[in-house]
Amino acid sequence: MIATVTELREIAARVTDPEIPVLTIADLGILRNVELEDDTVVVTITPTYSGCPAMDAITEDLGTVFKASGFGKVRVNLVLSPAWSTDWMSDSGKAKLEAYGIAPPTGTGHRGPVTLGLGVKCPQCHSLNTKELSRFGSTSCKSMYQCKDCLEPFDYFKVLS
């Protein structure tokens, strides 16, 4: 089966993050490259952090989506360098996070300075009057916060670089 790189990327971009199902791997910025080598689709992804348990599920889901699209052979390469950064997340992905109830990352990672003093905005009431409850949330990528105005707890997707 012959396909363009754009078509292959669109197929790969259907795969969602198993930990945050409103985000595709393209939204998250972990989808690095897709190409066709002879009769094998080669997908390159970078985990959000080394040892991320979602990589096995994402690899399996990529195989499933390509096989359902008529491609028999799929190879997924995990690339750790350069390390993934929240800078790679799409603006659309950040908006999806907020709509899902997770505060998107503020500031920037390795592509620029993290601005200290930025408040973490509550995804429910949009107040900046929030406090960190725990540096580690439901996954290693997130911290647990609480809004001091609406009192709702929420995850904050940490700035990673």
Q: What's the mean pLDDT when you consider all of the chain?
A: 88
* Nearest to 104, CA basis, from 35, 47, 20: 20
Query: Looking at 10-14, 24-28, 53-57, which range is the least confident one?
Result: 53-57
The domain segmentation of the chain, as residue ranges, is 5-78, 89-157
Q: Is the pTM of this model over 0.85?
A: no
Confidence of residue 161 (pLDDT cuts 50, 70, 90): low
Confidence of residue 118 (pLDDT cuts 50, 70, 90): low
Phi first, then psi, for residue 160 (nearest 5°) are -120, 140
Is residue 8 predicted with pLDDT exceeding 90?
yes
At 3 the pLDDT is: 77
Confidence of residue 50 (pLDDT cuts 50, 70, 90): confident
* Better-scored residue on pLDDT, 28 or 142: 28
Confidence of residue 139 (pLDDT cuts 50, 70, 90): confident
* Nearest to 96, CA basis, from 9, 13, 28, 31: 28
Write the single-letter amino acid at 25: I
pLDDT digits (tens, 9 = 90+) for 78-113: 999 999 988 999 999 999 999 999 999 876 444 433
5-78 under CATH 3.50.50.60, yes or no: no
Please state, as a whole number, how many other Cβ atoms lie within 10 Å of the Cβ of residue 3. 17
Percentage, residues of the chain above pLDDT 70:
90
* Residue whose entry in the numeric block shows the structure tokens 């907020």: 98
Determine the angle formed by the axes of helices 54-68 and 5-12, rounding to 10 degrees.
130
* Better-scored residue on pLDDT, 118 or 20: 20
Please state, in angstroms and rounded to a whole number, the distance separating the CA atoms of residues 100 and 102.
6
Is residue 128 predicted with pLDDT exceeding 60?
yes
Please state, in angstroms and rounded to a whole number, the distance separating the CA atoms of residues 13 and 29.
10
